[in-house]
Structure 1
Amino acid sequence: MGFNDVMVVRDIDRAKAFKKYLMPNEQSVLAVRRHPASLLRYVLEVFGGLILAGFVSEWLGPGLGMTVVWLAWLFLLGRLLWKVVTWSIEYFIVTEHRLLYIRGLIDRRIGMIPLKKVTDINLERPLQGRLLDYGTFIMESAGQDQAFRNVTFMPYPEQLYFEVSTMIFGLEDPGDD
């Protein structure tokens, strides 16, 4: 799977989900969802809970205990579905002027950092991130208060790091030393 596949949206007209958060004179250069690995914990909880619920309900037999066990598993399943829906509308967007991080289903949160204010960007890749191809971006800005600092589970981390760094540091005039 290459850099231009699946999660990266380069044509803003195809991404109506976040177009309303851009200024009229602004075009999205890059928009990306978090890596699906961000859902892995919840998927594992659902499958582990299913196995556990099967064993426990067999041990308990029919009755109130079995009902409680399966209701607990349904809670895990509902939480997974909630996380999938939330993940599907969450975007990290880079425009020619700013970085945006849009998240939240009911309580919508839009964080913004002007590109000119970003002083540093770091990429962290733990072992599981290297295996599954994701990383964490850590942004430092010129102000003390930031709308967001970390963006976890970024797919194609080296490519995104290169593109975002090029945009941030490409704004500087090469004549300034």
Structure 2
Amino acid sequence: MTDTTSILLRNSALRRYVSAKEKIVFATRRHWARLWEPALSTAAAFVAVAWMTVAVEELAILWVAWGVLAVRLLIKWLDWRQQWFVVTNKRLIVIDGFMDQSGTFVQVDKVTDMQYRRPPLGQLLGFGEFRFESAGQDEVLNLVDYIPEPDERYRQIIAAHFLPAEKKEEPKTIFVVHDGPQRGYPAGPPSYEPPATVTQPIPVVPPHDDPPARRGHLPGGPTTSYSETRPPRPFLEGGER
């Protein structure tokens, strides 16, 4: 089971917007600091109403107002549970809403610039925000705030979409040229052109009646005569000499 499949199985909200064919770089909820305002408002209202009702019992009606703030905090918490920022190998996706759920995404190849910022409160509590600029006119995914572990998320986005992939060096073929064509070659014999044949004309003398010429002597060359003296054969009776 891949990481993408396991993440989708654990979170039903992501299965609506993330395809199983996509590879999830990371998927995170917003930082809990996004609930600090309704949480502080509800806590402060509780202390105030409790103090006033102890002093004046007729002010118990104020608990109704505090109940409204408590319900508001519950809705904010349920809404926060459904807020996701998902980065895949193809898209940037922001999911919002509990009762009115929506998903916004932009293709990665259309993102031209990204700005990463950690406000003072974010440096204290550990969250950051990202601003994306796309090539289109309508920047539907401009600001994504309250992202936990922002430094790690920033490095993951940069590594996945903004740094060029390292190219593997292809093996190089080395051609070795030898002196003689009879030797072996690892990549096939090179083109070999035999040397040009230089011919020298040889004079041909037609034969004539000169005996030395018939014997193969060239005109003007030395001539040699041969003579042979045979000894007389002995006379044999009944035979011939």
Question: Please, which runs of 5 or more residues in structure 2 have no aligned partner?
Answer: 1-5, 168-241
CA contact (8 A) 2:24 2:87 kept: yes
- Spell out, residue by residue over 1:110-133, the C-alpha distance to the aligned partner (whole angstroms, 9 max, x if none): 110100011111111111100110
Structure 1 segments of 4+ aligned residues over 4 angstroms from their partners: 172-175
Normalized against structure 2, the TM-score is what?
0.63
- Alignment pair present for 1:73 and 2:69: no
CA contact (8 A) 2:132 2:142 kept: yes
Question: Please, which runs of 5 or more residues in structure 1 have no aligned partner?
Answer: 1-9
Report the 3-state secondary structure (helix = DSSP H, G, I; strand = E; otherwise coil) of the residue aligned with 1:143.
coil
> For residue 128 of structure 2, what is the amino acid of its counterpart?
G
Greater RCO, 1 or 2 (C-alpha within 8 Å, sep 6+): 1
Normalized against structure 1, the TM-score is what?
0.84
Report the 3-state secondary structure (helix = DSSP H, G, I; strand = E; otherwise coil) of the residue aligned with 1:162.
helix
Whose strand fraction is larger, Structure 1's or Structure 2's? 1
- Corresponding position of 1:156: 149
Report the 3-state secondary structure (helix = DSSP H, G, I; strand = E; otherwise coil) of the residue aligned with 1:45.
helix
Superposition RMSD in Å: 2.1
Structure 1 residues 9-158: aligned runs within 5 Å: 11-59=7-55, 61-63=56-58, 65-67=59-61, 69-158=62-151
CA drift of 1:17 comes to 2.3
Distance in structure 1 (CA, Å) of the matches to 2:165 and 2:151: 25
Whose helix fraction is larger, Structure 1's or Structure 2's? 1
- Corresponding position of 1:6: none
Report the 3-state secondary structure (helix = DSSP H, G, I; strand = E; otherwise coil) of the residue aligned with 1:146.
coil
Q: Percent same amino acid among aligned pairs?
A: 31
